[in-house]
Amino acid sequence: MRVLRERDFRLLLGGRITSQLGNQITVVALAFGVLDLTGSASDLGLVLAVEAFSLALFLVIGGAVADRMSRRRLMITADLVRFASQGVMAALLISGHARIWHLLLLQVVSGIASAFFIPAVSALQPETVPAEHHREANALRGLMIAAAGVVGPALGGLLVVAVGAGYALALDSLSFLLSAVLISAIRVGSAPVANSGKSVLRDVRDGWQDFRSRRWLWPVTLQSALVRMLGLAPFMVLGPLIAKDELGGPASWGLILGAISLGAFVGGFVAMSAHPRRPLIPAVAGAFLFVPMLLLLSVAASPVAIAAVAFLGGIAQSVFWTYWQTAMHENVPPETLSRISSYDWLGAYTFEPIGYALAGPASALIGAGATLVAGAGAVAVGTAATLAVPEVRRLRARSAGTENPQPTSATGGSAEPAPDPARAQGPDGEKQVSA
């Protein structure tokens, strides 16, 4: 908890907790808002997909821009745009004038704003704490966001039942406004980041070269993309439909999502207390815990049983988040961190909208249960393949006493792990991808 002594980190953490609480409410509210509007799982998948697709389309541009200008100002602007888009969506649903094309357009606006916010905040956080406390800061951020997530889905379910999806989305809108106010008080990240005077497109290209040179980084990015597309996307699209038809409605779905967040809260303590020498092994391996979650949902098991395994998935999520973000902060130069992290997020958000868009048609073709079972199998195989990559297994945490080589320039050599002495003689990361 010593990182809480840092004023700027406290403000950043407060902004992230606030907006995450609103996001968790929206996960439930938007799902049932669309289902009440059209009753179609395919429409829900499309609404979720367009935000992720627009985010993916602009993400690398956002990363390059965040390495060239004030990251704090960029985050404030993005929060204000999302405050407006979510507020308009709430007003349309409350007034009864919402149409599916309205929601699609506003989700595109929200996705573009997020594309500029995510790389900026990924690079701003390391500036708010001393370098030796990066892991603690990442763990505490994950833990506090998870705590907000425990409340958010349950509150979202209650609000949908009590007053409707529109008012729940209005709370999400206000959360972005409060986040912008808190971030505006941060002192670091206000100056433009130094750059070589190259064009934005040149920075995008150099960022890609730097990203792919790190053989510990891109396989995990690819695995995260697979988990999102074939695991979490079908879970998020088909889960509300199964909950509505067979599990008792919004309250049951809120219980399941709340269990994931509660597990993520517990996982934050695990990540803070555990110090694996090779952190990417437990981070990556944690994705195996999503398999039983998908399988139980596929057979419409009791909400309590699904929530129990979802709790374990939440633990894996926090562990992955903490170890993966710390690996990025320790092994990527600060001046290129936004654009490198944008490619990491791009791997998730390029494939996630495909998963959202395909989940509904796939369930119509082979059934919701078979779609979820196929996703569970893909997650298991993809995770095993990632753990087979030597660079993923060998990357050492700096806290373990062995430093990993750093690149000498923004586009220079790769940050590969040092040779393992034990091998001469004779997966963790990150928080699992957040839905």
Q: In this predicted structure, what is the pLDDT of residue 387?
A: 92
Looking at residue 111, its amino acid is G
Q: What does pTM read for this prediction?
A: 0.66
Phi, psi of 200 (to 5 degrees): -60, -40
DSSP per position, 243-278? IIIII-SHHHHHHHHHHHHHHHHHHHHHHHH---SS
Q: In this predicted structure, what is the pLDDT of residue 348?
A: 67
* Residue owning tokens 């710390």: 326
* Joined tokens for residue 139: 């763990």
User: Is 244 part of a structural domain of the chain?
Assistant: yes
Q: In this predicted structure, what is the pLDDT of residue 425?
A: 30
* Joined tokens for residue 427: 């997966």
User: Is 431 part of a structural domain of the chain?
Assistant: no
Reported for 399-406, long-range contacts at CB under 8 A and 24+ positions apart, including other chains, are: 399/135, 399/275, 400/275, 400/276, 400/277, 400/278, 402/277, 404/330, 404/331, 406/331, 406/333
Q: How far apart are CA 199 and CA 206, in angstroms?
A: 11
Q: How far apart are CA 300 and CA 243, in angstroms?
A: 8
Q: In this predicted structure, what is the pLDDT of residue 191?
A: 63
**Per residue of the chain (435 residues), what is the pLDDT tens digit?**
677 888 888 888 888 888 888 877 887 888 888 888 887 777 887 887 788 788 888 888 888 888 778 888 999 999 999 999 999 999 998 888 888 888 899 999 998 998 899 888 878 888 888 877 777 877 777 777 767 766 777 788 888 888 878 888 888 889 899 999 999 998 876 666 655 566 777 777 777 887 888 888 888 988 988 998 999 889 988 998 888 888 888 888 888 888 887 888 888 788 877 778 888 898 899 999 999 999 999 998 889 999 999 999 988 888 887 888 888 878 777 777 777 877 887 776 678 778 888 888 899 899 989 999 999 999 999 999 999 998 888 888 765 444 444 443 333 333 333 333 332 233 233 333 333
User: Is 131 part of a structural domain of the chain?
Assistant: yes
Q: What is the CATH number of the domain that holds 203?
A: 1.20.1250.20
Q: How many domains does the chain have?
A: 1
User: Is 434 part of a structural domain of the chain?
Assistant: no
User: Is 336 part of a structural domain of the chain?
Assistant: yes
Q: Of 126, 120, 131, 134, whose CA–CA distance to 322 is shortest? A: 134
User: Is 435 part of a structural domain of the chain?
Assistant: no
DSSP per position, 328-396? HHHHS-GGGHHHHHHHHHHHHHHHHHHHHHHHHHHHHHH-HHHHHHHHHHHHHHHHHHHHT-HHHHHPP
Task: Give the DSSP H or E segment for 75.
Answer: helix 71-95
Q: In this predicted structure, what is the pLDDT of residue 201?
A: 76
User: Is 432 part of a structural domain of the chain?
Assistant: no
User: Is 130 part of a structural domain of the chain?
Assistant: yes
Q: In this predicted structure, what is the pLDDT of residue 424?
A: 29
Domain span at 222? 2-424
